[in-house]
Chains A and B, each alone.
Chain A
Amino acid sequence: AQSVTQLGSHVSVSEGALVLLRCNYSSSVPPYLFWYVQYPNQGLQLLLKYTSAATLVKGINGFEAEFKKSETSFHLTKPSAHMSDAAEYFCAVSDPSNFGNEKLTFGTGTRLTIIP
């Protein structure tokens, strides 16, 4: 079974500061990993994904994440926070051996607040 743990249900950063959202995974096989973002009153949209190619993955809106197998982590970062980054962020994992039916297992989410 796979799972993800997101450390910190709420994170606040000042505008212009570094954003760091933490995600650790548990998987018996090398996983696929994802970060999704949910803006208020909207569904989820993909920020970025790791599928065993480059360990540093760049996504939309200036976000990136690094897959670290030794730490079983996939933390999300952005060098400089913008007010528009305020949202809820979800880390998710899937099993690549589950061919075709990519069910995702989601973390509990981190709500990011940006302080002006």
Chain B
Amino acid sequence: DVKVTQSSRYLVKRTGEKVFLECVQDMDHENMFWYRQDPGLGLRLIYFSYDVKMKEKGDIPEGYSVSREKKERFSLILESASTNQTSMYLCASSLLGRTTSGANVLTFGAGSRLTVL
């Protein structure tokens, strides 16, 4: 079964701490994504990457950075965590290019719930 694994399901951090959220996929997907999920706001794209060492900003990149040193791993970094970054973070991956049925489907991890005190 294909998998996107987020290493930490629940984290509690203090304001100002540096936070790393790790995501690993075993499907050899080129695209990887970080979304943030908040009640009433749905999912919002933070960053995505379509290749190793490549990254593009999504809709809400402020306060975040990412790292993709290997194809299977995509890390989200909060340089100095703040209380307004308390949220559920979802990682996803997909193939690059088209399948015969059209759009590629995103496969999601189970999420990492971050609380910043």
Category for how many chain B residues contact A: 20 to 34
Is A100 within 8 A of B102, CB to CB? no
> Which of B44, B48, B103, B108 is the one whose CB lies under 8 Å from A44?
B108
Taking CB atoms, residues of chain B closer than 8 Å to A60 are none
* Complex interface residues of chain A between 80 and 110 (CB less than 8 A to chain B): 90, 92, 94, 96, 99-109
- Give the A-B pair count, Cβ closer than 8 A: 77
Smallest CB separation, B117 vs chain A (Å)? 22
Taking CB atoms, residues of chain A closer than 8 Å to B33 are 103
> Which of B13-21, B68-76, B79-87, B89-97 participates in binding chain A?
B89-97
Is A43 within 8 A of B43, CB to CB? no
Is B96 within 8 A of A9, CB to CB? no
In the complex, whether A70 has a CB less than 8 A from a CB of chain B is no
Residue of A nearest to B110 (CB): A43
Binding site for B on A (CB under 8 A): 6, 9, 32, 34, 36, 41-46, 49, 51-53, 90, 92, 94, 96, 99-109
Binding site for A on B (CB under 8 A): 4, 30-31, 33, 35, 40-45, 48, 50, 56, 58, 90, 92, 94, 96-98, 101-106, 108-111
